[in-house]
Amino acid sequence: MRWTLKPKPEALKVEVLKKALQVDDIVATLLLQRGLDTYETAKTFFRPSFEDLHDPFLMKDMDSAVTRIEKAIKDGENILVYGDYDVDGTTSVALMSSYLKTRIDSVATYIPDRYDEGYGVSYKGIDFADDNGFSLIIALDCGVKAIDKVAYAKEKGIDFIICDHHRPGDQLPDAIAVLDPKREDCEYPFKELCGCGVGFKLITALASNQGQTVQDLVEYLDLVATAIGADIVPIVEENRALAYFGLQVINTKPRPGMKAIIAEVKKDELTITDVVFIIAPRINAAGRMKHGNHAVTLLTETDFNLAAEYAVDIDQFNTDRRETDKRITAEALIQIEENNEQEGFTTVVYKEDWHKGVIGIVASRLTETYYRPTLVFTKSGDKLAASARSVKGFDVYNALEACSEYIEQFGGHKYAAGLTLLPENYEAFKAKFESVVKETIDPKLLIPEIKVDLEIELSQINDKLMRILKQFAPFGPGNMSPTFMSQNIKDTGYGKCVGEDDKHIRFTATQSFNDKIVCIGFGLGDKLDIIKNKRPFSAAYSIDENHWNGNISLQLKLKDIKE
């Protein structure tokens, strides 16, 4: 691991902000590092407000989208809400269909089959709409590149409204409206909404025509917060406000489907991290192991008892998913070792019977292991399909674009993407991908980085600091949980390895005579020798609360330790 200490703000700026906010050096420094340099910006950060949300009509084509939907409602048209099978897609479909059903009965949902239809808008979905008399399709979290599909729908007299957040291509589909803040001609002030976030802006615009405000739509924000967490979009500005209020809904009045998912979680208050690791994997598991329709059914159910039954099925899908991705990850690691492919700039593996629903998770696990841009391929019909994951700082989407001569179809983000190619192009693609990454990646990006906000003394860690740090949440890209480092600390002499196979490390650290704090390092069991015999060492960590037997105490959650 390489530790990078963030630049310290100017001392004068720290002093000015300290006085304005009546806080200490640590808090003022953390705020300045996040670009919050005045009382007003700090207040907005600590106290998110609905006033922080932008006017939805600032988004390009919003007027056209609202006009077309209002016409469909007035004329009693059949509306099909279409979305991808992942968390962002299924929450988007649940949100849009739930809202529209408060205005019109003739609303149905459609999630493509991951294996039969693949990602995004499909011809099969359009045929379904045509066969069943749908004259308007609202596509969410997909569609911005579906030029041929939208043209096909138009031939059948079906209009499209697209709500997407992926990067558009050179040409936009010929839809009634293409709502996407990443459009070059879109002047919407915030570009990092997730698909469900774009959907929420659309229902906000529709509701405003009915004299309603965003406060009347709060019940939908549990879905938006879940999508924000799962899709790893920056939790800053508008996303921060949406996630903040969405978490309040999750913790106070979640929809029955959400309540059923979290019923077994023994925790007083869920954080965005809990959403990412507890709620999102279960919603995702439906589309990975069975069909995304199961997730939409759960999230739109209004009867808790029924939702609880659906949640049992979802939980089983998640259990199956865990077992499957564990097995495939083990097989992929063996393949890499046997082919001696650990030394390259990329990791690319393929086996035709790997489960398509979990190859993205396997790609993430391999990236954690070898820390290289990674692709995991499997057979999908007569083509090969892959999920791509990247390392921090490297744009895998651009790398795939440079290999497009060998690719049939691809799409995604900077750090995660998907693609298909013909089997005969696999080896050529693999060589080209390795070459492109080798030529374009900064070698230091192949070493995992810990970005340290600030070096502090253990004596500065107290309950007051923890109370303020908790107000920095919700955490995520653009606002990560603060990471600190301390030097010349020692184990009090009782440090040991804990957990299965002694994978983890636990000890009590001291830096001066009176400072003692418990430290837990997950996955750091192999570093026990560093702390032995009370030798001094350095630690990078976040400050955490340990809840045990009704008691709460501070502890350090270690990220790394060094001699």
Give the separation between CA 171 and CA 561, rounded to whole angstroms.
Answer: 50
The verdict on 123 and 209 lying in the same domain is yes
In a domain, 477, yes or no: yes
Domain with 455 in it:
450-562
Same domain, 152 and 241: yes
442 and 457: one domain? no
The whole-angstrom separation of Cα 234 and Cα 240 is 8
For residue 526, give the CATH number of its domain.
2.40.50.460
- The contacts of residue 456 (CB under 8 Å, 6+ apart) are 26, 484, 485, 486
| Claim to verify: residue 413 and residue 365 sit in the same structural domain | yes
* 359 inside domain: yes
Q: Point out the domain boundary residue: 400, 417, 446.
A: 446
Give strand pairing partners of 179: 163
Amino acid at 224: V
Same domain, 113 and 199: yes
Is 522 contained in some domain?
yes
Q: Kindly report the backbone phi and psi dihedral angles of residue 6, in degrees, each rounded to the nearest multiple of 5, phi listed first.
A: -65, 145
Task: Give domain status of residue 2, yes or no.
Answer: no
Asked whether residue 175 is domain-assigned, the answer is: yes
Q: What pTM does this model have?
A: 0.91
Question: Do 525 and 398 fall into the same domain?
Answer: no
User: How many domains would you assign to the chain?
Assistant: 3
Q: What is the pLDDT along the chain (563 residues), one digit of tens a residue?
A: 899 999 999 999 999 999 999 999 999 999 999 999 999 999 999 999 999 899 999 999 999 999 999 999 999 999 999 999 999 999 999 999 999 999 999 999 999 998 888 888 999 999 999 999 999 999 999 999 999 999 999 999 999 999 999 989 899 999 999 999 999 999 999 999 999 999 999 999 999 999 999 999 999 999 999 999 998 899 999 999 999 999 999 999 999 999 999 987 777 789 999 999 999 999 999 999 999 999 999 999 999 999 999 999 999 999 999 999 999 999 999 999 888 777 789 999 999 999 999 999 999 999 999 999 999 999 998 999 999 999 999 999 999 999 999 999 888 788 889 999 999 999 999 999 999 999 999 999 999 999 999 999 999 999 999 999 999 999 998 999 999 999 999 999 899 999 888 999 999 999 986 789 999 999 999 999 999 989 999 999 999 998 888 788 999 999 999 99
CATH of the domain at 373: 3.10.310.30
Token digits of residue 132: 């069943």
Residues 6+ apart with CB under 8 A from 211: none
Residue with tokens 């030798």, as numbered in its chain = 535
Residues 461 and 533 in one domain: yes
pLDDT tens digits for 422-474? 999 999 999 999 999 999 999 999 999 999 999 999 999 999 999 999 999 99
d(CA 206, CA 44): 27
Task: Please check whether residues 483 and 553 belong to one and the same domain.
Answer: yes
Q: Are residues 261 and 397 both part of a single domain?
A: no
Q: Domain end: 313, 347, 381, which one?
A: 313
Q: Is 209 exposed, middle or buried (0-12, 13-18, 19+ CB in 10 A)?
A: exposed
Q: Are residues 372 and 520 in the same domain?
A: no
Residue among 58, 64, 60 nearest 161 (CA): 64
Same domain, 299 and 172: yes
Number of H helices, E strands in the chain: 20, 19
Are the CB atoms for 271 and 473 separated by under 8 Å? yes
Within this chain, do residues 150 and 289 fall inside the same structural domain, yes or no? yes
| Residue 40 belongs to some domain of the structure | no
Q: Give domain status of residue 124, yes or no.
A: yes
Residue of 549, 533, 536, 539 lying closest to 518 (CA atoms): 539
412 three-state secondary structure: strand
Q: What is the distance between the alpha carbons of residues 555 and 250, in angstroms, rounded to a whole number?
A: 27
